[in-house]
Structure 1
Amino acid sequence: MSENTRVAIVTGGSSGIGRETAVRLGRDGFAVVIGYAGNKASAEQAVTEVEAAGGRAIAVQADVADEVAVTALFDRAEQEFGGVDVVINAAGIMPLAPLAELDLQVFDDVVRTNLRGTFVVDQQAGRRIRNGGAIVNISSSLTLLARPGYSAYAASKGGVEAITLILARELRGRDVTVNAVAPGPTATPLFLDGKPQELIDRIAAEPPLERLGQPSDIAEIIAFLAGPARWINGQVIYANGGSAA
């Protein structure tokens, strides 16, 4: 591996936006560590796709909310590839229910994965990412769109945005950018699962571009922030095709 090869960790890299981002970074020549929660076969397939795109990749299982597992994830990246330059926080869960009906254990699970998970990964990134690096957290346009049923998910993502803006300022002097991408409805398993086609069609018709986002749409933005976009820092980029609150 060339000394100039940049190294990325992508949590949630076995599916959806995370997987598409890993492959997109592979096309840019990155070495990618794909963090995954439990689906080893999907993670290994993602490794194959990254390598086919021109990058190098390994898959490492890690619970993003477990600081011991996340420390080991960063250790593995450093052992395999020599360091970490880019960290993408794409792991997340999205159970839906009206606020008054949501089981509080489910709420705790959402906060644990989406908010604590981002915090734990960002904590390691803040300590270990190399100067000149980039951290990209995944928020959601639901923090603005306020769609019923998404209170727990949107609350967790509002916290992700707060973490992002503060960490960007805490890393002053390191030449490390920290930004969040806030997708609107995107055609991933996380979004599509359990929704009737009529609802999917109605949501897809809402933005002026009259379609759902594709994982590749979001991956392009993340790759831009991970690479050439050095003057974008401490920002939340809403990527939703023009959907309005």
Structure 2
Amino acid sequence: MSGTISNFFNAVRPSNGNNSDRLAVPTAAKMNKQVSTSSQMLPLTSLIGKVAVVTGSSRSIGAAIARSLGEQGANVVVNYVNDNKAADEVVQAIRSTGKGGAIAVRADTSTLQGGQLLLDEAVKTFGHIDILVLNAGIMGSKTLAEVDESFFDSHFEINVKAPLFMAKAAAPLLPSRESHTNSIAACIKNRPVTPNALCYLATKGAIEQISRVLAKDLGSRGITVNTISPGPVDTPQFREGKPQSVLDSIAKQNPSRRLGEPDDIAPVVAFLASQAAQWITGQNIRVNGGFVV
């Protein structure tokens, strides 16, 4: 899970007037007809007709998750703060499959207001929400001697407080048990335990415990809540501040002698959001290639 508390951009990215930038989403009637006429033949992993909101999904792991959900037929709300071009590319990739629809929404989910805006735009466009993936977050590096109150507060506001309250806002919007695919997933994105990972790993531990409690709290409505722990994944955020020698050393600790890739992680999130995973909840799924066993 991830998100925060600061400023927020309270506007959905405006259309540039180009028809190609408009939402290419099947109408509700058409989608319902597709689902009703073929539901007996759909695989349990299908997400056709479902609506997914993915925070921080314009790049890296979040973008891969958004594409994977779209590949399974979900209509996806792609969230970004600054990089509208990257968000556009994810939207177009989803639309090009001809399965799911997609829109890009500019919102700073490190704030409660930004998270609410994202949910509101999802309902406004698609009519409902079935899947929430809390992926956005920060990954600072300071040892105990270096940590100050501001650094501590920013990590817990962004990585714990904001996603928790976004989950609270989303829970009443998720359908009841009969839909079978109501899911909240949080990406913990664990990093190696090093002296400078104190605050970051503390927030991820908090999210894992919150997920376990919410699985009990929301389970009576058929809502599953799980966390994903990818371990080291080759993203710009993970590479930041690390020399190549350190990255190579981390990669060698994996049996496959490589870092994970965003596309190694995304299909697991899509699976957990599907009917096939309806009996999996309150779990921390370690998708790390054997980095931790």
TM-score (norm 1): 0.93
- The one-letter code sitting in structure 1 at the alignment partner of 2:204 is K
Match of 1:233 in 2: 281
Match of 1:151 in 2: 198
Q: Deviations over 1:155-195 (max 9, x none)?
A: 11111111101111111321111000011000111111221
Identity of aligned residues (%): 38
State the structure with more CA Rg.
2
Give 3-state SS (helix, strand or coil) of 2:145's partner. Answer: helix
Give 3-state SS (helix, strand or coil) of 1:153's partner. Answer: helix
Conserved? CA contact 1:94–1:153, under 8 Å? yes
- The one-letter code sitting in structure 2 at the alignment partner of 1:168 is A
Matches within 5 A, 1:29-178: 29-54=73-98, 55-131=100-176, 132=180, 133-142=182-191, 145-178=192-225
Match of 1:189 in 2: 236
Which 5+ residue runs of structure 2 have no aligned equivalent?
1-25, 36-48
Conserved? CA contact 1:207–1:241, under 8 Å? yes
Q: How many residues align?
A: 243
Match of 1:200 in 2: 247
Mapped partners of 1:28, 1:11: distance in 2: 18
Conserved? CA contact 1:64–1:120, under 8 Å? no
Mapped partners of 2:89, 2:149: distance in 1: 35
1:147 Cα offset (Å): 2.2
Structure 1 segments (4+ residues) deviating >3 Å:
none
Structure 1 residues 36-45 or 158-167, which shifts more? 36-45
1:146 Cα offset (Å): 2.3
Q: Deviations over 1:39-67 (max 9, x none)?
A: 22222222112212332111112222322
Mapped partners of 2:81, 2:155: distance in 1: 14
Q: Deviations over 1:221-245 (max 9, x none)?
A: 1111011211111101112121238
Mapped partners of 1:42, 1:30: distance in 2: 20
1:209 Cα offset (Å): 2.1
1:211 Cα offset (Å): 1.1
Conserved? CA contact 1:23–1:53, under 8 Å? no
Mapped partners of 1:188, 1:52: distance in 2: 24
Mapped partners of 2:110, 2:168: distance in 1: 11
Match of 1:180 in 2: 227
Conserved? CA contact 2:81–2:106, under 8 Å? yes
TM-score (norm 2): 0.79
Which 5+ residue runs of structure 1 have no aligned equivalent?
none
1:100 Cα offset (Å): 1.3
Q: Deviations over 1:53-86 (max 9, x none)?
A: 3321111122223222222211111111110010
Mapped partners of 2:131, 2:197: distance in 1: 29
